[in-house]
């Protein structure tokens, strides 16, 4: 697919994340306006609340954009999703008849503050990248037993905390927790010493379900995707995870990018999951290409020093697609809600520069990572800023996600001190 040209000049640049081909959904505020829904186009944002008030956008009998989140649109279903995308494309395309009506509704991105783009109903995080699972399993169980016996048959996941999902730009406070050193018989309550990031994609459920759904139904129910960083306290996790898995180690925060890139925008970039050495059961089998070719990278910026790109990989490395994860989630009859967020699991490639966590990049702390400024890291230090970025690349354009950032703040004073 070629670049779709817009009368918004900045949207025609090969360097923008937000050409007419994209049209991602977010929530923004300005000094003059409270938080409201907006659509990114080049270096501008179309004010959807104003567009609806003035009749430029008129999709349903009731307003959809008088609230600062996109859940109301999601609840309308795929026919309305498509109608909105078609209307936006018509309004913003080069030569649009209604340009004079739309142009006053554009706000420079530079004047805006971005907010959470949705109300997250529930959050589930998966462990569905084979290279990541193999690396972690090798570190802790040896290469012969790297993958659990169930891993090649189902996408493993756990229910997380929707309350801890935050938008890009939110500072992340280093957590306290129980840490257990192999040199001591008892744990101690201390600030996390092995704080980590996890490079993931987040799939947003746009249609509710009550009972099992097929992979195709799950694919149709996904509204869009965001970048996702599932911050992880590795030392807290090592002590608490047996036998039930992650809990407080993952409850500090999960950061997402502020722009939801719709599934429709990603359609030209579909690709297939990797070949399977073990056949999965029929209800989870691929029915077509259900992953996406999205290039991803992570940079680490120490306080006051230049950034270093520490990871480059691709979403196509996942072993299970978001549709398979959602279908599996529903198999027990678990109801799925509009606004549910599914974390893909850490995305790592086959080589060291493609690893999606510091746990892997430093091989559990044994191989420190050297940054461009000369500093080294095994895990994150106070003042470090992590930036996730990603885009699918077309012919002369990119469908991007913007960035997902977070800066580590020092742990608070001992919370239970007497």
Rounded to the nearest angstrom, the gap between the alpha carbon of residue 177 and the centroid of all alpha carbons in its chain is 26
Q: Which of 297, 373, 336 is nearest to 211 (CA)?
A: 336
Instruction: Kindly report the number of other CB atoms within 10 A of residue 173's CB atom.
Output: 15
Q: Which of 234, 238, 231 is nearest to 180 (CA)?
A: 238
Q: How far is CA 326 from CA 163, 224, 294, 333, in A?
A: 20, 13, 20, 12
The phi and psi torsions of 98 (rounded to 5 degrees) equal -100, 25
Q: Which of 78, 58, 128, 91 is nearest to 263 (CA)?
A: 78
**Cβ distance 376 to 368 under 8 Å?**
yes
Instruction: Kindly report the number of other CB atoms within 10 A of residue 48's CB atom.
Output: 26
Instruction: Kindly report the number of other CB atoms within 10 A of residue 144's CB atom.
Output: 7
Rounded to the nearest angstrom, the gap between the alpha carbon of residue 113 and the centroid of all alpha carbons in its chain is 19
Q: Is 282 helix (H, G, I), strand (E, B) or coil?
A: helix
**Cβ distance 239 to 180 under 8 Å?**
yes
Q: Which of 117, 94, 101 is nearest to 39 (CA)?
A: 117
Q: Which of 322, 85, 333, 83 is nearest to 221 (CA)?
A: 322
Q: Which of 132, 153, 184, 393 is catalytic?
A: 132
Would you list the DSSP string of 170-232? --EEPPEEEE--TT-SS-EEEE-SSEE-BEEEEEEE-S-BSS---HHHHHHHEEEEEEEEE-E
142: which residues sit within 8 A by CB, 6+ positions away? none
Whole-angstrom distance, CA of residue 140 vs CA of residue 359: 11
**Cβ distance 89 to 76 under 8 Å?**
no
Which tokens sit at 126? 């998966």
Does the annotation mark 131 as catalytic? no
316 DSSP 8-state letter: G
238: which residues sit within 8 A by CB, 6+ positions away? 180
Known catalytic residues are: 132
């Amino acid at each position: 697919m070629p670049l779709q040209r817009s009368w918004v000049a900045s949207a025609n640049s090969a360097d923008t994340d937000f050409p007419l081909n994209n049209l991602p959904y977010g929530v923004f505020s300005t000094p003059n306006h409270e938080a409201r829904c907006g659509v990114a186009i080049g270096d501008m944002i179309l004010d959807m609340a104003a567009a609806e008030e003035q009749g430029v956008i008129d999709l349903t009998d009731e307003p959809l954009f008088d609230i600062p989140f996109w859940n109301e649109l999601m609840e309308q279903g795929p026919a309305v999703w498509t109608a909105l995308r078609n209307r936006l494309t018509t309004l913003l395309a080069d030569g649009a008849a209604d340009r004079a009506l739309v142009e006053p509704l554009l706000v420079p991105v530079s004047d805006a503050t971005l907010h959470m783009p949705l109300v997250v109903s529930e959050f589930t995080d998966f462990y569905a990248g084979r290279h990541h699972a193999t690396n972690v399993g090798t570190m802790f169980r040896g290469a012969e037993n790297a993958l659990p016996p169930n891993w090649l048959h189902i996408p493993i996941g756990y229910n997380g905390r929707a309350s801890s999902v935050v938008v890009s730009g939110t500072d992340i406070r280093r957590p306290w927790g129980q840490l257990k050193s192999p040199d001591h018989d008892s744990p101690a309550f201390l600030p996390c010493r092995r704080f980590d990031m996890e490079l993931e994609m987040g799939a947003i459920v746009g249609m509710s379900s009550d009972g099992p759904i097929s992979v195709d139904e799950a694919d149709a129910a996904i509204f869009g995707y965001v970048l996702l960083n599932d911050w992880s306290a590795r030392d807290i996790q090592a002590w608490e995870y047996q036998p039930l898995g992650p809990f407080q180690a993952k409850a500090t925060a999960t950061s997402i990018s502020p722009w939801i890139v719709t599934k429709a925008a990603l359609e030209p970039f579909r690709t297939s999951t990797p070949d399977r050495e073990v056949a999965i059961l029929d209800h989870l089998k691929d029915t077509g290409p259900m992953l996406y070719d999205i290039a991803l990278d992570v940079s680490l910026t120490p306080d006051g020093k230049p950034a270093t790109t520490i990871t480059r990989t691709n979403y196509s490395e996942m072993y299970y697609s978001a549709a398979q994860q959602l279908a599996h989630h529903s198999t027990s009859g678990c109801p799925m809600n509009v606004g549910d967020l599914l974390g893909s699991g850490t995305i790592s490639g086959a080589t060291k520069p493609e690893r999606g966590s510091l746990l892997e990049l430093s091989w559990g702390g044994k191989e420190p990572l050297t940054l461009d400024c000369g500093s080294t890291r095994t895990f994150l230090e106070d003042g470090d800023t992590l930036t996730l970025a990603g885009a699918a690349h077309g012919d002369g354009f990119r469908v991007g996600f913007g960035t997902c950032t977070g800066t580590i703040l020092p742990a608070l004073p001992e919370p239970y001190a007497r």
